[in-house]
Amino acid sequence: MRLLGAILSFLMAVSLAAAEPAKRAEPKEQTKADTKEQPKAKPAAAKAKKAEKKGTADKGEKNEKNEKVSKEILDSYAAIPLNDRVSIQSDLIWTGDYNGVLSGEFGERSVAAVKAFQKRKGGKETGVLNLQERASLAAAAKPKQEAVGWRIVDDLSTGARIGIPAKLMPNTNVSGGISRWSSQRSETSAETFRIAQTGTTLGPIFERMKKEPAGRRTEYSVLKEDFFVISGLQNLKKFYVRAQLRGDEVRGITILYDQAMAGIMEPVVVAMSSAFAPFPSGRPVLPPPRRKVEYASGVSVGQGVIVTSREALEGCHVVTIAGIGGADRVADDKASRLALLRVHGANLNAVALAGAAPKGDVTLLGIAEPQAQGGGAAVSPAKARVSDALALDPAPALGFDGAAALDAEGRLAGIAVLDMPLVAGTAPGPSATAALMPVEAIRALLAEQKIVADGAAAGTEAAKGSIVRVICVRK
């Protein structure tokens, strides 16, 4: 509760700055990718109804017109990499200047958002950001994103991609084909849903969700050919529902929050609505930002050398081994996804290497990160099965990136490497995947660095003395 209180205090100040520009920045047009699929969020029902009467409400489903944007401006954005254009749109959402989809396509609506930002900053309204303005935009958006713990999440329950404010919704629960993120006492929550059956149409679902569950009172709603938006009050909370139809399948998200948190949540709901991709394509999207401090595991193999996951060290300014101190990066290999660290003056047991990577059951030894369920400083085991493709099932807890995988004799058979698109919760859940980087890859990396693995510790209990916690600190 102290943490939530601190977050809320900071966010209240941040949201006041974000909410006011959001009210002003409602361009009349939307870009082509600004989205045929994605309606824009409506922070207030009354405002939405007023806009609808003017013919500007939820323009998200209409292609943006570019008649008022010069060819020079369009060409300048076309020359920018797609990920950079998506990043600009995302930052404009967080500054309250843009209310559309993170598509990377720039037209009249996106350019108008850039001009709105330039005008507020007292600059010339060119519609194109120079380097100084781009840096200023990123600097303005970053604290707002970090304040809520903004993450892009791939939800395997529905197949949708969504944005989650992890600090406001730190708890994750996946069951019955539904993924749910929430605060400790459910002051805020987001829940995905999926309806798929032959002959599915939006109309009946739309009408039902306007009234259900009991206690729901709709204040604003719009139904189009392939999507709908509903918002209002659900008992004492505000709610926002967005869903889209493709074929015989509907995918959607429901956001709930206490009315007292409206000032904080309304700009966040805009960002969540814009990031929501119910049927994501292969187009690049914003990568989930890495946390400033992250925890992984590593295993000693001799000569003060520790093997761990290469991805766990990505962007690290300082790497520390808990209870020992700083570690030097000796080598990393993109193909094997492994990295070598060296510590000096540490008395670590070195684990014995297996002859080959096993298929079937393995024992994972790692240290769960402090915030994870059951997290602490102790080495803990977890069971997993290795497939023919070297996938590990189930994926272990956060903190086990770089954990040791032991064979039946308790020898190091490989290193567990986690892919975690789901970063909003305290456990990987089904959206995470894990793979075994086999002992052959470890041997090859050691040989390349002329390091001799001289470990003798074998068996689960003996090998626990070889496991360390790796702490990555980013700028």
| Domain residue limits, the chain | 2-275, 293-473
Sign, CA dihedral 142-148-151-152, equals negative
Cis peptide before 43 (omega within 30 of 0): no
Maximum C-alpha span of the chain: 76
Beta bridge partners of 332: 339
Class of domain 293-473: mainly beta
pLDDT at 359: 80
Q: Over the stretch 313-325, which tens digit does the pLDDT of each residue have?
A: 988 999 999 999 9
pLDDT at 60 over 70: no
Q: How much is the pTM?
A: 0.50
Model confidence at 37, pLDDT cuts 50, 70, 90, reads very low
pLDDT at 462 over 90: yes
Q: Over the stretch 212-266, which tens digit does the pLDDT of each residue have?
A: 888 899 999 999 999 999 999 999 999 999 999 999 899 999 999 999 999 899 8
Range 442-449 average pLDDT? 94
Higher pLDDT, 55 or 291: 291
**% pLDDT > 90, the chain:** 49
Q: What is the mean pLDDT of the chain?
A: 81
Residue with tokens 């600059």: 123
Higher pLDDT, 308 or 430: 308
What is the number of other CB atoms lying within 10 angstroms of the CB of residue 213? 10
pLDDT at 125 over 90: yes
Residue 432's alpha-carbon distances to 27, 362, 463, in angstroms, are: 38, 18, 26
Cβ partners under 8 Å of residue 247, min gap 6 = none
Sign, CA dihedral 118-123-124-130, equals negative
First-residue to last-residue Cα distance in the chain: 27
Range 366-381 average pLDDT? 78
For residues 188 and 182, is the Cβ–Cβ distance under 8 A? yes
- Give the residue among 371, 408, 148 at the shortest CA–CA distance from 257: 148
Q: What is the CATH number of domain 2-275?
A: 3.40.1000.10
Cα dihedral 230, 236, 237, 238 in deg (nearest 10) = 40
Cβ partners under 8 Å of residue 141, min gap 6 = 90, 91, 92, 93, 94, 95
pLDDT at 129 over 70: yes
Model confidence at 153, pLDDT cuts 50, 70, 90, reads confident
For residues 162 and 153, is the Cβ–Cβ distance under 8 A? yes
Report the distance separating Cα 452 and Cα 469, nearest Å.
22
Higher pLDDT, 48 or 90: 90
Report the distance separating Cα 342 and Cα 86, nearest Å.
39
For residues 394 and 433, is the Cβ–Cβ distance under 8 A? no
pLDDT at 32: 38
**% pLDDT > 70, the chain:** 80
